[in-house]
């Protein structure tokens, strides 16, 4: 995706707004990948625990609550979706 964005602008000089936009996109992608890795790890842990304690309704409810809490923490850490684009990794 980033390669295509750059290739589309190959024959022109990028202005400061273009560069800031690119940095914001990079930041949004990096944050998305980070959150996805955290969620994937939680679900792997949940699957292992479910398989080891099949049939425990209370256990499943507690695990689902942990996943929901983690998702809320990820959202709280990022703030609003607009906030992602306002804080680039590469601040110019």
For residue 44, the SS3 value is helix
Q: Can you give the pLDDT of all 92 residues of the chain as single tens digits?
A: 888 888 888 889 999 999 999 999 899 989 999 888 888 888 888 777 766 665 566 666 777 777 777 777 766 666 544 444 445 454 44
How far does CA 38 lie from the centroid of its chain? 8
pTM above 0.75, yes or no: no
For 38, 40, 59, the CA distances from 34, given in Å and listed in that order, are 6, 10, 27
Q: Nearest CA to 45 among 57, 37, 55?
A: 37
Q: DSSP string covering 16-42, please?
A: HHHHHHHHHHHHHHHHHHHHHHHHHHH
Domain-by-domain residue ranges, the chain?
A: 2-86
């Amino acid at each position: 995706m980033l390669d295509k964005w750059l290739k589309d602008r190959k024959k022109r000089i990028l202005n400061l707004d273009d560069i800031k936009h690119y940095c914001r996109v990079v930041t949004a992608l990096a944050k998305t990948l980070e959150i996805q890795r955290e969620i994937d790890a939680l679900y792997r842990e949940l699957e292992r625990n479910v398989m080891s304690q099949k049939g425990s309704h209370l256990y499943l409810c507690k695990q689902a609550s942990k996943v929901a809490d983690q998702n809320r923490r990820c959202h709280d850490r990022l703030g609003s979706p607009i906030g992602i684009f306002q804080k680039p990794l590469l601040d110019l």
